[in-house]
A and B are shown apart, each in its own frame.
Chain A
């Protein structure tokens, strides 16, 4: 038995890796730049100049902390033209642009020349000081100088982020005309000429053929995935040791925010699954035992209809009917406790007593989702078993009906209902989002819902990964239960 369980656990490891890979792939494809989001969340207020110096440093530290200065994965499959040091470029949009340019030209050296000449131009532009210019040429107004200088800076910024030939040409034109109109920008002329020259170099020295040859580069364990999953042994502990990263909303570690919520969601789904089994097994036995009777037919139809009722409709209907001052105001509308009365120092019993009215409607909705499904499976399984020879034998040898059904038939008819435990488990987790949102239960579902509304990707990914892992555990439990109940499965 132990050996069997161990074997099952071993086969789950590749699955866990696959789930972690999937969530990682989704997370690196999330739109936006995490560093920008986080530094915004940290709330750097202040003037633009104050920010540029201080926040640049903060951003760099953040980038390092998040591991964004590392390659993405252990290895990468690219083409021969692509640079294997591209990941060192800090800005996400610059990175994408450089990648696209490399694809166009096929010559990474030319691309990097172009990029560095652009950066030089940007630096030169930052040294243009409007106040000095105005001091030298009193005929100019500070505003108009600032405006042209900013316009020029904007064009540089967009050149850094675009690879589209037409747009690039347009930007060059604009910069030319800005230079012609504003003599005071003439310091930038040489740098701009250099940019244009390197830009042409992209196509003169193009080695397009290189983009048609695949290349694999190996980065070793210093990469983002490794850091995310296993940590680096220093400040990051890694997902497997319970470090899920930082929330974009308030820069707090996600693990601190989430554990309590996982507990709420998990206990609600366990209670409801337990209740669903408790109700559906007797119903299934009864209707299988009285097969084709009026009661069975009626019950089958009702179950079938219940099975097609979406749980969010049921939940909303329950609210409409039982938690609505217009109809019956039996239950509170939302939450799991009344913050005005609730006292965290209460004993467990008091807490429970206080919470029960809040939990009745959600638990009904939760339970209902799996109960119709389970009853139908139980009934079919029981009918199948009752027609077997050994049941006839049991009856023939004179056993009472109760004993035949409950002792001989029940155990075998439980098999299919146990296998679906694994199917119900993810259903309960997925379904919990909708139900928790309807009843405003502060669990994992509401958390993921809110993080979607706020684009808090680390949180979404964490919930996804955790649920995937929990589902795997559900499968494991189902498999082991199956082995316990079914004598035909050998443990060896």
Chain B
């Protein structure tokens, strides 16, 4: 069941830039005129997670967004003495509880279309409040699939 919203080509090219060339840290997507998913904001490589969260909520409490973030963290495998840096891409749908039902509906029913066109994302996260979108919560989710 999908809403029929399409994904613009810019989304895909920007995604390739972040996945292959590591040109950006994050991308914020939005749905333009209820028809097409488009790129709203691109974060440069040196930006922090907090600025991603800020941009995600830039539209105010009543707006929904999608966010793609190239997350880095240190991971230590069991039995090894050194920890290694890991990079994981995650795609987040941000639908705050305060958003209008119509927005929530539009974004949640179109999330599938975006998922399908951005191939190779490691983790999908649905967030409705900051407790699910915070750096700690996200890191916990990404780590949950790592080997200990």
Determine if chain A interacts with chain B.
Answer: no
Residue positions of B touching A, CB distance < 8 A:
none
Residue positions of A touching B, CB distance < 8 A:
none
